Amino acid sequence: MIYYISSERLSIQDVQRIVFEKYKLGLSEESKQNILKCREYLDTRMESQKTPIYGINTGFGSLCNVKIDDKELTTLQENLMKSHACGLGEEVPEEVVRIMLFLKIQSLSYGNSGVQLETVQRLIDFFNEEIYPVVYTQGSLGASGDLAPLAHLCLPLIGEGEVYYNGYRQPSEKVLEQKGWEPIQLKSKEGLALLNGTQFMSAYGCYNLMKSLKLSILADIISVVSLEGFDGRIDPFNHLIHDVRPHQGQVETAAYITELLEGSELIAQPKENVQDPYSFRCIPQVHGASKDAIRYAVQVIETEINSVTDNPNIFIDEDLIVSGGNFHGQPLALALDFLGIALAELGNISERRTYQLISGLRGLPAFLVSNPGLNSGFMIPQYTAASIVSQNKQLAVPASIDSIVSSNGQEDHVSMGANAATKTLRIVDNLTRILAIELFNATQALEFRRPLKSSEFIENFVKNYREEVQMVQEDRVLHYDLEKTIAFIESLTVEVEE
């Protein structure tokens, strides 16, 4: 399958399909012409214009007033690539690198960046041949673009840096030789076009959202298992309550949970308790608010991945080369911080439901085990959940409220969106673990409600889970059950509306 890069608008779901269903990339004729015309315009402009143009025949950052001789423009761009490749920390996951490659190709295809067609085609070759540059998580301030990560992403174009290929980490130069490819000879502006951009933040944003959209739905399903195990009430999901406070996420969550409970014997039986704790009663309000935050993040990230984010920008029809700030990651930084806070809250309320389930309430045995005392049962998984929830609270402190002056004061406000991006992925992964602990507890609680059954959907969901994790009759090493539960959650496919 081939996806042809064009100006057609991309959604998060499009990116997920193209990147992870192993599409090959190609350039549409429209994109080829955009790239060729822009490069031709820039070459012609360079022949006639002798005054400095930022990033094309000048130094970079606070060195913007230093004019560079035309004979040294290739060296200028290569030096930029090499000097900016100073990332540190953990390696960026392969999935995110793959998204970065795709988004960088997409952004360069609009014809406002002045790159050579050969440069874009080589990036496509890397994507199609599964040659993934080694990129590091630390180094970007989220302004002036994701300079350090994108330098590492694009170094292999000139035969520098390292890549993963055929399962091995190896020098880029070696892989280029294997493929019979010559290093790209960068022309004016190309290094800056490759390094200026928000593809590190955007790729993490896409990846975080792919996981978040799935987890927000699974949080609803798992909360229903908990509700049934806790012998909770259906009243708080009555549409009348939500019609008079119609936040979109709240209304959708209440309707979905009502649908999940359809046909349940447990929810229909008479209840002794008049009200449920907030962690059950307020699921629509809390889960719904997080869904609305996710929806906002989708809007921001989708705008970004359909944009030109390097600098300066070339406008052929207007005969202008304009230096601006489209590389600044502030929109992404705020959205990613908001997303992290919203996901941390899904974990926060999930742990509270777990706590209620082990508390010996509503006819459930203390710690969800038949012989408490001799058995500690589910006492300590809640500790684990609480520990992870606390870590998420720390990670959810906004990165976007910080800024550190750089480049001798030229770049005097930065977004720190890259830090928002990477720590939000940690929150996402932590949320998966927290929901796994809730599912582990909730299915155990449900067993104490037998022979009554939940809805057909929930019973099938629990049956599939029970094929991986059996009910706990007496104490055993629970780590393995939790690992299996995490694997179960990660294996599930959830249909997400665009």
417 and 487 co-located in one domain: yes
- 27 bridge partner residues: 5
DSSP line for 417-452: HHHHHHHHHHHHHHHHHHHHHHHHHHHHHHHTTTTS
Q: Which of 197, 222, 249 is the last residue of a domain?
A: 197
336 and 370 co-located in one domain: yes
Residue 188 lies in a domain: yes
Residue 299, Cα to own-chain centre: how many angstroms?
13
370 and 259 co-located in one domain: yes
Tell me the CATH number at 164: 1.10.275.10
Q: How far apart are CA 324 and CA 312, in angstroms?
A: 6
Q: How far apart are CA 410 and CA 62, in angstroms?
A: 5
Q: Which of 177, 197, 217 is the last residue of a domain?
A: 197
Q: How far apart are CA 362 and CA 227, in angstroms?
A: 12
167 and 249 co-located in one domain: no
Three-state DSSP class for residue 384: helix
223 and 190 co-located in one domain: no
241 and 268 co-located in one domain: yes
Query: What letter does residue 302 receive in the DSSP assignment?
Result: H
Residue 31's pLDDT is 98
Catalytic residue among 4, 54, 296, 355: 54
Residue 66 lies in a domain: yes
Q: Which of 142, 177, 197 is the last residue of a domain?
A: 197
Asked if 312 and 273 count as a contact pair (C-beta separation under 8 A), the reply is no
Residue 496 lies in a domain: no
Three-state DSSP class for residue 15: helix
Q: Quote the pTM value.
A: 0.95
CA-nearest of 321, 362, 324 to 44 is 321
For residue 57, what are the domain limits? 2-197
Amino acid identity of residue 424, one-letter, is: T
Query: Could you give the number of structural domains in the chain?
Result: 2
Residue 10 lies in a domain: yes
449 and 319 co-located in one domain: yes
- Report, as ranges of residue numbers, the positions in the chain whose pLDDT lies below 50: none
Residue 498's pLDDT is 66
Q: For 441-462, write each residue's pLDDT tens digit.
A: 999 999 999 999 999 999 999 9
140 and 252 co-located in one domain: no
193 and 208 co-located in one domain: no
Tell me the CATH number at 339: 1.20.200.10
Catalytic site residue 54?
Answer: yes
Residue 495's pLDDT is 81
127 and 245 co-located in one domain: no
CA-nearest of 394, 383, 318 to 355 is 383
Q: How far apart are CA 409 and CA 310, in angstroms?
A: 20
Residue 114 lies in a domain: yes
Residue 119 lies in a domain: yes
209 and 90 co-located in one domain: no
Q: How far apart are CA 416 and CA 488, in angstroms?
A: 34
Asked if 175 and 166 count as a contact pair (C-beta separation under 8 A), the reply is no
144 and 224 co-located in one domain: no
Residue 456 lies in a domain: yes
Residue 310 lies in a domain: yes
